[in-house]
Amino acid sequence: MREREQMFTGLIEEIGRLRSVATRGRGLRVVVEHALPGEPVRPGESIAVDGCCLTAVAPADGTFSADVSAETLSRTGGRSRWRAGRRVNLERSLRAGDRLGGHVVLGHVDALVRLQAIRRLPGDVRLRFALPAGGSHAIVEKGSVALDGVSLTVARVGSGWFEVAVIPETLARTTLGSRRPGESLAIEYDVLARYAQRAAGPGRG
């Protein structure tokens, strides 16, 4: 899913749009429209697109292209998710000296999780998801997850489900505000939980 290790924070910088999608071998070549702040996108730069670390190629004014591998397709729902016109969360990779404002996100999608329900409470919105198969030990209350690339804190965990609390600012600045029950989002487990799960040995996921 990546050529070299990169780090992100899960703090979305911009909502982009998939301008076009074309078959490329067993994967895809996508063109992403964006208005990312700061310096122009450079060839070879790593950008998280809905939580997937992709390498920018052929950057132009307001667009860049990227290849989506067969492995990435298999973990993110296939071609139905990577379709022209879809809005996507964008974040550039961390550089030396950048402040870590969210949590450590690697851009490696672990699975898809289905949004079961939305509850609006004073001050935040609770999104409830089905616990992914094999990932229950990596999701704990007050722990971190990235959903479609967005850094969030797990508010509650129940039998077969977990909830995250999303403030209005995050809903407005990411695609989470447009998600509806029944849709699936890409999840990346917290890297510390991932390593703890591995250290616990097989059969604990």
| pLDDT tens-digit readout, 153-174 | 999 999 999 999 999 999 999 9
| pLDDT tens-digit readout, 104-115 | 899 999 999 999
- pLDDT at residue 100 in the model: 59
Q: What is the mean pLDDT of the chain?
A: 89
Q: 3-state SS string over 74-116?
A: HHCCHHHCCCCCCEEEEEECCCCCCCCCCCCECCCCCEEEEEE
Taken as a whole, the chain contains a residue count of 205
CATH number of the structural domain 111-200: 2.40.30.20
> CB–CB of 113/185 below 8 Å?
yes
Stretch 11-35: mean pLDDT = 97
Class of the 14-92 domain? mainly beta
Q: In the chain, what are the domain boundaries?
A: 14-92, 111-200
Asked if the domains at 14-92 and 111-200 fall in one CATH topology, the answer is: yes
Predicted confidence (pLDDT) at residue 142 exceeds the cutoff of 80: yes
| pLDDT tens-digit readout, 171-203 | 999 999 999 999 999 999 987 766 555 556 555
- pLDDT at residue 136 in the model: 81
Predicted confidence (pLDDT) at residue 204 exceeds the cutoff of 60: no
**How would residue 94 be classed by pLDDT, with cut points 50, 70 and 90?**
confident
Predicted confidence (pLDDT) at residue 20 exceeds the cutoff of 50: yes
